[in-house]
Amino acid sequence: MTATPEAQRVAAAGAARDVFEAELAVVAGVRNAAEARLVDLVVRALAEGSWQGHRVHTPVQWLMWRAGVARPTAQRVVALARRAPVLPVTMGMFAEGRLSFDQAACVARYTPAEFEASVALLAEDATVAQIATATRDYGFDAQARPSDVPEPTAAEPEVPKDPEADRDMSFGTEESGQWWARLRLPADEGLAVEGALKAVRDRLHDQARTAAKVAAVAEGRSTKGLEVPVPSWADAVVGMAHSVLSGGAAGAGVASRARVLVHLEGTRSGDGWMASAHMAGVLPDELRRYLTCDADAEVVWEKDGAPVNLGRTKHIVPRRIRRLIEHRDRGCRVPGCDQTWWLQVHHIVHWEDDGVTDTHNLICLCSRHHRLHHQGHLGITGNADDPNGVVFTDETGRPMAGATRARPPRPADMPTVAPYQGPTGERLDREAVFFTPTRVPTPQTAVDGDVDSDDGSPPARRRRARCRTPGRTTGDGPTTTRGPPAA
């Protein structure tokens, strides 16, 4: 019987749709495998510390710069990379193109390592929403949370020391209930904290004196010679906390310029400068140059070593020039840095070295990169007025590369994987989902093995018998037809 034209048209449309969807499955599988390689590279970068070689702030910022992705994407890639070492089954299926990045990331987000083999097998047939539904509130054992990551071993490469590793704070509560804290900061930031503590301490002392006088007057006693105990530094810390909690933390952001008082004077030989913190000792040369690179200066006239007059306060970088530099640079100029707030204006050639305060010699830096430069970890040379005229180098003198340009892949770069099958489209019954904890097998065993293991690991190909979601056949029955997810 000859088919009608309408039937031929429908058959041709169906065949074309099958070809299109087959091509889509191939592309999806290749994309999954390629993204798995990206995650694997990030795993290596985290383990070896290679992301730190560019002096960027975080692995997320490094990935944004080198891979050209948005911050949310970079955050999710790094999060998956951090958990990848304890998710061998998931990462193995991801590398084979059987799981998408979103499916793998969802498994990593909610699943402890002991259960990941079982969850990964369900994930292959489920949508991202279904994976989240099945795992988010499943109630895995409390002792095996997704944040568990193996401790580094002695055989792992040593991560290069961060120049700001001496900047940290820790606090907690002892068994006795006493709260404790320990803080370590660079000298200039420590001086800012110390200045705030002194201000609060003086304020508390003034309040105590006022209260003592009021009490003396009320009792008919003399207000002269009242002894008022000086508040302790602990009182000052608590007072500073009360001040923030009652008045808000609007000024808590990193200041664009350090708010510390530094005394700057020429050396006796007349060929340099020396700086000391107010009522404190001499500052290191690199800290002096960092603080005076962008500061307010007040000239003090002296005669025979004694101050006799004060000049007007001047901005080392005048406000009108600062606005020009900020508008020109629109953020920190260091490659890979996306900081656009709390910027500092840096003299490429320091004014101590006869550098001029002109636009070609001024550049916007975030506080971290500015500090790294003056510590000798980041070199900066060139003409800032030229968009490509500034050269940044690491401590070895090696130039920092610009943003990576993606190149067309070669045939050898393309992963060879099976077409992506995707979710079955069946409805998920949460009551029928059961995950089994196992000793995590190797990715090869979990992916290719069709035989039940004797160590408690789930079989690799029998997810239908274990999960028993409605509409899904069990055992060796016929497979279901994949389609759009049910509502």
Give residue-wise pLDDT tens across range 49-69.
Answer: 888 866 677 899 889 888 888
pLDDT of 254: 45
Residue 85 included in any domain: yes
Residue 1 belongs to a domain: no
Assess whether 378 and 271 both reside in one domain.
yes
Stated pTM of the model: 0.54
Lowest mean pLDDT among 37-41, 145-149, 340-344: 145-149
Q: Quick one: pLDDT at residue 138?
A: 82
Buried b (16+ CB within 10 A) or exposed e, 332-368: bbbbbbebeeebbbbbbeebeeeeeeeeebbbbbbbb
The Cα 200–Cα 237 span in angstroms is 8
Residue 175 lies in a domain: no
Mean pLDDT of 472-483: 38
Residue with tokens 């998408």, as numbered in its chain:
100
Task: Mark whether 68 and 138 lie in a shared domain.
Answer: yes
Task: Specify the pLDDT at position 94.
Answer: 94
Rg of the chain in Å (alpha carbons): 32
Would you place residue 77 in the very low, low, confident or very high pLDDT band (cuts 50, 70, 90)? very high
Residue 297 near residue 313, CB atoms below 8 Å: yes
Of residues 16 and 153, which shows the higher confidence score?
A: 16
Question: Which of 141-155, 209-223, 292-306 has the largest mean confidence?
Answer: 209-223
Is 302 or 266 the better-scoring residue by pLDDT? 266
Of residues 287 and 472, the one with the higher pLDDT is 287
Is residue 160 a part of any domain in this protein? no
Q: Which residue has the higher pLDDT, 386 or 451?
A: 386
Residues 434 and 314 placed together within one structural domain of the fold? no
CA distance 446 to 440: 9
Query: Residue 270: which region, alpha, beta or left (left: phi > 0; alpha: psi -120 to 50)?
Result: left
Inside any domain, residue 2? no
Percent above pLDDT 70 for the chain: 72
* E strand or H helix that includes residue 381: strand 379-382
- Give the mean pLDDT of 312-326: 82
Residue 234 and residue 277 in one domain: no
How much is the pLDDT for 468? Answer: 38
- Tokens found for residue 386: 């030229």
Distance separating alpha carbons of residues 475 and 456, to the nearest angstrom? 19
Q: Is the pLDDT of residue 271 over 80?
A: no
Q: Are residues 53 and 109 in the same domain?
A: yes
Q: How far apart are CA 419 and CA 421, in angstroms?
A: 6
Domain count, the chain: 3
The answer to whether position 253 is within a domain reads no
Q: Once rounded to an integer, what is the mean pLDDT over residues 101-129?
A: 92
State whether 278 and 325 are in the same domain: yes
pLDDT at 92: 94
CB atoms near residue 93 (< 10 Å):
25
425 lies in which domain range?
Answer: 13-147+418-467
Asked if residue 284 and residue 194 are part of one domain, the reply reads no
Looking at every residue in the chain, the average pLDDT score rounds to 77
> Within a domain: residue 487?
no
Tell me: do 206 and 267 sit in the same domain.
no
> Is pLDDT at 469 greater than 60 in this prediction?
no
Which residue reads 């990715």 in tokens? 443
Residue 164 counted as domain residue:
no
As a whole number of angstroms, the distance between CA 262 and CA 268 comes to 18
pLDDT at 142 over 60: no
Sheet strands (E) in 206-337: 262-266, 273-277, 296-303, 306-315
pLDDT at 380: 95
Same domain, 387 and 428: no
Give yes or no for residue 157 having a pLDDT over 50: no
